[in-house]
Structure 1
């Protein structure tokens, strides 16, 4: 059958794997064609399936996509003019969803749904300025006779099932050479990872680097005997010219278009010809690509295609028109090829359109920038129109705005209007490359220097494409966001980004509200940014506002002269204050009762403007008081007795609150002063409704019916701020909420000062205030009346304060527990009330939309409660539980979740294991999902509570049970590596004093302790343990590691510890016996030090004989590890000591390839100058397989590096 005119069915494959599977399905193979069209470049197999004569073609090796598919069919039609229909059969990426349970080996058949097409080309469409890329949508459905056959075959399968396994096994029995590649893989290798689990950029297999941790996987039940396996799905197939490897873009297209499968050729056929697409699923269209299922998936798709042809009578196909005879079809093919090429050029490959927004979102989630726009919006709402114009016209501001590398400091007293003026400046500047940040006393997170760096970095990344490469490189070096960058590297990335931006304006408000613990860091950074800009091509304009506090003034005078300072004196702001007063008195509704009395209006204006002395805040407070005066007698009396200062103003406001509301006002102000985050208005309503001396403590009927009335309790001291916040509800990403803020920083300062009246001052001392807050939280929890089985979201809606109470009560109580007997009583009640204690915890995220957890049956032993109290430092509670008979040596289960030792026994009032997922200390980060056993002594040591450790030891706690030494080294208190910051050193001393040095467990216990001390940087504890004969070479074991102290200390840069270990005999090249354990990505100290960029430690290790080319673990040699992050000085040092510049293996690229992929220009230069092979290819498997350094640089958009490589001879 070599006559080309006899063939009516075309079968197109993209890969050789698909071609093999297709050839295996032929009932009979024929000789190749005798004559082909002159320009036909295809390779064909001819054969028969039933009575159909089939011609099979495969795309050229290495060529994929819609253009190639169209070209193959074009040549086929020239040589085989009788072709009447076409099948595109092969593998594709699945699009699993709750609606479609798609698995490896399943088949997807293109079939129209809801009147639409069967193939969706998502990289062909139009781009409109200011709008996202708009795909043109669906392509033509298959012809009617094919759809009829699909339906008939579907009916037959439903009645009898398919026989794919029999078909495939029969083929494999006949040709055993195919078994290894085409047989069905083990079902355990079918893993569907959650969308936020991203395969790292190295070539490591998923089974090794991503693993089978249930927390990373989407759980799916096994298919039963009554279900088809593999299953067949009918619906929409998405096609484009690029492989889909982004799970989030995949999910978006699934949600928007109900896509079942992704592939790369269908759109090239369906828009022109009567075709059907059949795909076997071999991956899930995400970053976890593998070839293990490709052979089997190709077989299942081909088996379905064969069954389909058996369902079609030859006369049905012969009745169809020849494709070549369809009017204009051949000429339209040429047009199609041109259109595809044009579309590819004009849309810049639409996957980038779809992925760029998502990549930006990934960067945003990774950086976690705090939102400054809420502060700006709040200030703009307060700003009176026209205010601040004097500054915009000031010569100093104009100079700052235009002069290269300029600085301006606006300083003024409390209440002078700096923040409002700052908003005027931001509003005046062009938004392009404008970065701004508001330090905010109302939000603890916004008082941190690192928060500012993160916010500015993301703003610049978002606004300036030219500067994005630096942050993308850092993101890549942090395993695509799986690790957080250290602050030093983030600062360096921001500095490098500024260098790439042409010109940048930075505005920082309220430096004095920056946490004093990091203010020196902020001031030093300001100086360095300006200095770097001056000494480079960077053009940065930095403007800051603050009070003239001495440390700020002293630091600024070191790098800026007097011309860079604007003092907000009354003479400068008088016009703004006058305009504001006139607007409030004459135009707002506050004083509408005086609209017909212009003389009274004038009197109010005159007195306030005269006495303002440049103080916006003072004027605003007086106007708030005066607007309540209902007649002139009271108004005139108030005008002649105005307070002179802000302190006196606040004192009068507090004195003016009626006795009936003063207690509630104090309680609300305590929360606003000492809470680490803003309070929502609905939370504040419940705070007021709680009566810690009443019975019941809380009842919803005691709430204020009108939430806004709460502001009347403390007028002028508190303001309501509308915000958008992430929603807990699965159907809404964001929700409009109202936060309550103290009206001004000066309010907080006044309340925390000694200047309050004697009857109020004690209420705002930290201990007293936090005791009151803790009692309010506990009373609220104790009196919630909820039924077992209540969904958590329903609880949050009904009792909005519950989340705050659960997360914060421990942190509040620990400050005051020993001094407040009433608080001790509430804590004892909580521990005694079995309704309020839950042992089942930490099993779901608060953001889960798959299912919402419910209140479970209460439980909790005395020992689990003791462990909880010990870990949280509740000394009196520990004493109480011991007196109640708790066994101090009993081991209880706890769960590692978001804090390093988050006890699985969860406190809450009939609550909410769901909301305890972040624990009472939400600032701590650790491993997720790990369960371990723990004693109360270990918990207390972990907490850093010397007093509780001592109490437990006195009560009989056995130091030999568990490993309290290691826990003390992991102490969660602040001050990493600083013995003075907490009692960790003293705790280790105390534990050693109670430890039998001759114990049989001495080696393992002290080895673990030494390892933890080395890992966490506690050099004093390392030296103490070594002095007590701890073995410097002892191996420590854990669930995810197997290592030695000498291998972990270098990564943190702990030079003193490395030095001490070497001095005590640590082997410099010591590594784990099993370097392939999942946690052992690197094996030697030199590898860790090189990866971490610690030059001095690298030099120390090399001086002590470290093997410069040692390998082990999964990420290559020290040179390879130093190259990726760009530690070029270490690269030079290693090369000078004989490092193999071409070292690479099937898991890790060479140093040059790694540095090129991550855009490390200086490192690439050093490697090239030392003779690195510029055209070497990466060995092994994965997305980087067979690529050169140049190809990697171009793929990662590292054009500067690419130019350097080309200059050194790169040509591949």
Structure 2
């Protein structure tokens, strides 16, 4: 819930018409807040470009500098953290000057050598012999506004005739509120008529239809290719009276170099820094275009909105609950688990990565002219580092995660940068989806800067836990945090994106590409560094940004040698290798590794039990390349083909399971040692796992692959010697159904079987078949299937599965063709009715199988 302290931008309108225009361009509307008894203002609250904005209108019929000053005083008292205020609305342009100002144009106050952007022309004194002299000076707008206006000016010069962001804002406002067109659309250039300054218009007329057309001043036509409105920058005159005398107007304009007159800004400039932007038929359009420019300005002004959270050391109870709900996995814990599984980084390796030009460019530590790749979007948006399996990508990512926070550029007292990281894992459910990545990054950012919780908590209050399953909602929160510039730039490191599920991977890359394409001319405050294999589906998105092949860094070879020396030193210390053996082994490892750290790690593990006199023979027998090395390990590890096949099946189950399995679940799934008691089965399964220690590991009772390449190796079809992934899924589906029919209450695998047999049946495609002993599960009427559905509802309470969910519903929901075919065969065998009728299988919610299929 936002409070008065969360609003940093004031927006003042003189007329209700102007306030309506301001409301039309808000990106968000906020609820009203309690008001102080002494504050008589009426406010509209909302947000634009990440800024929380408070809009106020002058009292009806009471205009001028005094009224504006009074309104602002109340607003500042109610909203104590206002950093600046904008006076946005309708003014009177000065035609015929060096600046070609016309009805509907925009005028933005800009400081001159003498004045701060606004001059109060009716404030001064009468001096004998010299008439009226203007005295005093008004403040100029704050530097942040002047810088942002200069950026817009530069963008305006750079845009083509086909580009006009103001037109885009106006179009979106009309699309959002079509009724605006009645009073706020442009009347057209033919309704812009300039009369001679000396001409006295017909009084009591809102338009000039009754005025003398002979007094119209002819002006050149504007370029029809230019998309209005046009923006002018210069000095604005402000006073307590409406400027209605054209001759006096022109005299003052010439004297002060004024291009616009209005009535309220002078009352504001000395209270709070401000910036500004009559023919009645143009007023609505003028008000809306002024509001559109103000919105455009706020979109480039850095967000410095203060928040209550910045002033508190601890989160509230509600915010802590939100943070707990956000956590799916703690990236810091995942990093420690990765190091424990693969070993600590050898001291001194990979530290060089943080001083490479590409990384320094990503960090914004190199000037724009030092780009390694001139095609990159900006100096520091996205960096993609890719490499083949086992070449040290995750080790490099680990080094950056550990070393970057120690750098001066990340020290809170010297800089304003925050690093968050996420390590994807293909075998870990909590680390392979796009939402998991965003949740991990958001959690780390909020841990380091607790004030950022407000960007998640406000959405959590509205949507609850559903927020954390919505990729779009999480992405929007991340973008808002990026734009919150008071907490600095956010550097996000995602390791091993190729291990993310394909659908999630595509979703994340598409969103990153779209966001950075739309942010080409303005920094969104987020910087991604992504590591992965050089897959083309990733390169299609990231290839246009700064990218680097890890193998092209010469220091990778040095790191590999340091890694060999470290591992070899540990082995030789235990096995007492002679110096000559150490030298020769080091040389062979370097030659056979082909730049692959994983190969060296596996090879060194193979050498541990080998005597020094046999080490050269064993090492030379190891083939080059990871695939050949793993195949060699499997071929020599087991005593007979039966045991080899059994171990391969266990490995394949680990590689294809929909979530990581426990040791007990794996034992039940493999159905080995069925004649043994439970404790013995677990012990024997652990022994099997130990035999595959170079491929799988056990962490807290959970069985995981050592590296993603193990999965690639096991499920590849190379040489026809390894596993067929479709057949593995078919086998797992069958094992699951077997356990469901048996319904062993002490069966550790039952929970997995309930939730995931349909997934494996679908992934098996046409290799899934229903064996005779499992037909009972798929009959038209089956108490076994009904029991499964009751368990499924209990485990997935939001599944929406009603009573009467038939076998055809099951086939339709998961898309399992074999189940549909079998059930239709069952209908064909009925003696009385051989035809399928959809209505016959209507569930308790009145849904039929065909409706389920359509959904």
How high is the TM-score relative to the length of structure 2?
Answer: 0.53
710, 715, 724: which one pairs with 1:752? Answer: 715
Q: Report the 3-state secondary structure (helix = DSSP H, G, I; strand = E; otherwise coil) of the residue aligned with 2:382.
A: strand
557, 568, 579: which one pairs with 1:585? Answer: 568
The answer to whether residue 547 in structure 2 is matched with residue 571 in structure 1 is no
Bigger relative contact order, structure 1 or 2, given CA contacts below 8 A and separation 6+?
2
- 1:642 Cα offset (Å): 3.1
Q: Using a 3 Å threshold, how does the CA distance of structure 1 residues 935 and 622 change in structure 2: closer, same or farther?
A: closer
The answer to whether residue 658 in structure 2 is matched with residue 676 in structure 1 is yes
Q: Report the 3-state secondary structure (helix = DSSP H, G, I; strand = E; otherwise coil) of the residue aligned with 2:716.
A: coil
- 1:671 Cα offset (Å): 1.0
Q: Using a 3 Å threshold, how does the CA distance of structure 1 residues 527 and 816 change in structure 2: closer, same or farther?
A: closer
361, 377, 391: which one pairs with 1:416? Answer: 391
Q: Using a 3 Å threshold, how does the CA distance of structure 1 residues 394 and 934 change in structure 2: closer, same or farther?
A: closer
Q: Using a 3 Å threshold, how does the CA distance of structure 1 residues 656 and 918 change in structure 2: closer, same or farther?
A: farther
295, 311, 316: which one pairs with 1:356? Answer: 316
The answer to whether residue 683 in structure 2 is matched with residue 705 in structure 1 is yes
Q: Using a 3 Å threshold, how does the CA distance of structure 1 residues 830 and 941 change in structure 2: closer, same or farther?
A: closer
Q: Using a 3 Å threshold, how does the CA distance of structure 1 residues 706 and 434 change in structure 2: closer, same or farther?
A: farther
Provide the rounded CA distance (Å) in 2 between the counterparts of 1:752 and 1:384: 31
- 1:552 Cα offset (Å): 2.4
The answer to whether residue 597 in structure 2 is matched with residue 616 in structure 1 is yes
Q: Residue in 2 aligned with 1:398? A: 360
Provide the rounded CA distance (Å) in 1 between the counterparts of 2:735 and 2:499: 28
Superposed, which structure 2 residues align to 1:1105-1116 within 5 Å?
A: none
664, 669, 679: which one pairs with 2:646? Answer: 664
Q: Report the 3-state secondary structure (helix = DSSP H, G, I; strand = E; otherwise coil) of the residue aligned with 2:839.
A: coil
Cα shift readout 1:333-372 (whole Å, capped 9, x = no counterpart) = xxxxxxxxxxxxxxx99xx99972553333542x463443
Provide the rounded CA distance (Å) in 2 between the counterparts of 1:684 and 1:944: 27
618, 631, 640: which one pairs with 1:638? Answer: 618
Q: Using a 3 Å threshold, how does the CA distance of structure 1 residues 481 and 863 change in structure 2: closer, same or farther?
A: same
Unaligned runs of 5+ in 1: 1-61, 63-347, 723-736, 787-794, 832-861, 870-902, 908-912, 972-983, 986-1015, 1017-1212
Superposed, which structure 2 residues align to 1:327-338 within 5 Å?
A: none
Cα shift readout 1:80-127 (whole Å, capped 9, x = no counterpart) = xxxxxxxxxxxxxxxxxxxxxxxxxxxxxxxxxxxxxxxxxxxxxxxx
Q: Residue in 2 aligned with 1:79? A: none
- 1:374 Cα offset (Å): 4.1
Q: Residue in 2 aligned with 1:475? A: 460
The answer to whether residue 488 in structure 2 is matched with residue 502 in structure 1 is yes
Q: Using a 3 Å threshold, how does the CA distance of structure 1 residues 967 and 925 change in structure 2: closer, same or farther?
A: farther
Q: Using a 3 Å threshold, how does the CA distance of structure 1 residues 697 and 778 change in structure 2: closer, same or farther?
A: farther
Q: Residue in 2 aligned with 1:1121? A: none
Q: Using a 3 Å threshold, how does the CA distance of structure 1 residues 700 and 939 change in structure 2: closer, same or farther?
A: closer
Provide the rounded CA distance (Å) in 2 between the counterparts of 1:678 and 1:938: 28
Cα shift readout 1:163-221 (whole Å, capped 9, x = no counterpart) = xxxxxxxxxxxxxxxxxxxxxxxxxxxxxxxxxxxxxxxxxxxxxxxxxxxxxxxxxxx
Q: Residue in 2 aligned with 1:743? A: 706
Cα shift readout 1:564-588 (whole Å, capped 9, x = no counterpart) = 535324732122112222221213x
Aligned partners of 1:533 and 1:540 also within 8 Å: no
Q: Residue in 1 aligned with 2:782? A: 865
The answer to whether residue 373 in structure 2 is matched with residue 373 in structure 1 is no
Aligned partners of 2:496 and 2:532 also within 8 Å: yes
- 1:440 Cα offset (Å): 1.7
Q: Residue in 2 aligned with 1:120? A: none
Q: Report the 3-state secondary structure (helix = DSSP H, G, I; strand = E; otherwise coil) of the residue aligned with 1:491.
A: helix
Q: Residue in 2 aligned with 1:525? A: 511
Q: Report the 3-state secondary structure (helix = DSSP H, G, I; strand = E; otherwise coil) of the residue aligned with 1:632.
A: coil
Provide the rounded CA distance (Å) in 2 between the counterparts of 1:942 and 1:781: 19
Provide the rounded CA distance (Å) in 2 between the counterparts of 1:652 and 1:531: 48
Superposed, which structure 2 residues align to 1:55-74 within 5 Å?
A: none
Provide the rounded CA distance (Å) in 1 between the counterparts of 2:604 and 2:348: 20
Provide the rounded CA distance (Å) in 2 between the counterparts of 1:656 and 1:571: 36
The answer to whether residue 607 in structure 2 is matched with residue 626 in structure 1 is yes
Provide the rounded CA distance (Å) in 1 between the counterparts of 2:684 and 2:348: 35
Cα shift readout 1:689-748 (whole Å, capped 9, x = no counterpart) = 626xxxx5664265253765333322322233x3xxxxxxxxxxxxxx232222222221
- 1:916 Cα offset (Å): 4.6
Cα shift readout 1:651-674 (whole Å, capped 9, x = no counterpart) = 101111213431331121111111
Q: Residue in 2 aligned with 1:906? A: 788
The answer to whether residue 706 in structure 2 is matched with residue 767 in structure 1 is no
Q: Using a 3 Å threshold, how does the CA distance of structure 1 residues 951 and 457 change in structure 2: closer, same or farther?
A: farther
Q: Report the 3-state secondary structure (helix = DSSP H, G, I; strand = E; otherwise coil) of the residue aligned with 2:480.
A: helix
Q: Residue in 1 aligned with 2:580? A: 599
Aligned partners of 1:665 and 1:713 also within 8 Å: no
Provide the rounded CA distance (Å) in 2 between the counterparts of 1:697 and 1:810: 29
Q: Report the 3-state secondary structure (helix = DSSP H, G, I; strand = E; otherwise coil) of the residue aligned with 1:741.
A: strand
Once structures 1 and 2 are overlaid, which stretch shifts more, 657-666 or 614-623?
657-666
- 1:527 Cα offset (Å): 2.9
Aligned partners of 1:718 and 1:741 also within 8 Å: yes
Aligned partners of 1:447 and 1:515 also within 8 Å: yes
Provide the rounded CA distance (Å) in 1 between the counterparts of 2:394 and 2:709: 13
Cα shift readout 1:383-412 (whole Å, capped 9, x = no counterpart) = 222221221332332332344644322211
Aligned partners of 1:685 and 1:707 also within 8 Å: yes
Q: Using a 3 Å threshold, how does the CA distance of structure 1 residues 705 and 465 change in structure 2: closer, same or farther?
A: closer
Aligned partners of 2:422 and 2:493 also within 8 Å: yes
Aligned partners of 2:594 and 2:625 also within 8 Å: no
Provide the rounded CA distance (Å) in 2 between the counterparts of 1:939 and 1:621: 45
Q: Using a 3 Å threshold, how does the CA distance of structure 1 residues 819 and 699 change in structure 2: closer, same or farther?
A: farther
Provide the rounded CA distance (Å) in 2 between the counterparts of 1:614 and 1:636: 20
Cα shift readout 1:602-654 (whole Å, capped 9, x = no counterpart) = 22222212332321111112112222323513x22123333121111111011
Provide the rounded CA distance (Å) in 1 between the counterparts of 2:383 and 2:767: 48
Q: How many aligned residue pairs are there?
A: 507
Provide the rounded CA distance (Å) in 2 between the counterparts of 1:516 and 1:548: 15
- 1:491 Cα offset (Å): 1.9
Q: Residue in 1 aligned with 2:448? A: 463
Q: Residue in 1 aligned with 2:477? A: 493
Cα shift readout 1:763-811 (whole Å, capped 9, x = no counterpart) = x21332123334544566677876xxxxxxxx4xxx5434323433454
- 1:481 Cα offset (Å): 4.1
Aligned partners of 2:738 and 2:774 also within 8 Å: no
Provide the rounded CA distance (Å) in 1 between the counterparts of 2:715 and 2:321: 40
Provide the rounded CA distance (Å) in 2 between the counterparts of 1:917 and 1:398: 52
Superposed, which structure 2 residues align to 1:1082-1093 within 5 Å?
A: none
542, 548, 551: which one pairs with 2:528? Answer: 542
Q: Report the 3-state secondary structure (helix = DSSP H, G, I; strand = E; otherwise coil) of the residue aligned with 1:703.
A: helix
Q: Residue in 2 aligned with 1:301? A: none
Superposed, which structure 2 residues align to 1:1055-1070 within 5 Å?
A: none
Q: Using a 3 Å threshold, how does the CA distance of structure 1 residues 784 and 486 change in structure 2: closer, same or farther?
A: closer
Unaligned runs of 5+ in 2: 1-33, 35-307, 366-378, 411-416
Aligned partners of 2:838 and 2:849 also within 8 Å: no
Aligned partners of 1:643 and 1:649 also within 8 Å: yes
Q: Report the 3-state secondary structure (helix = DSSP H, G, I; strand = E; otherwise coil) of the residue aligned with 1:507.
A: strand
Aligned partners of 1:412 and 1:569 also within 8 Å: no
The answer to whether residue 844 in structure 2 is matched with residue 960 in structure 1 is no
Q: Report the 3-state secondary structure (helix = DSSP H, G, I; strand = E; otherwise coil) of the residue aligned with 1:624.
A: helix
Q: Using a 3 Å threshold, how does the CA distance of structure 1 residues 531 and 442 change in structure 2: closer, same or farther?
A: same
- 1:497 Cα offset (Å): 1.6
How high is the TM-score relative to the length of structure 1?
Answer: 0.38
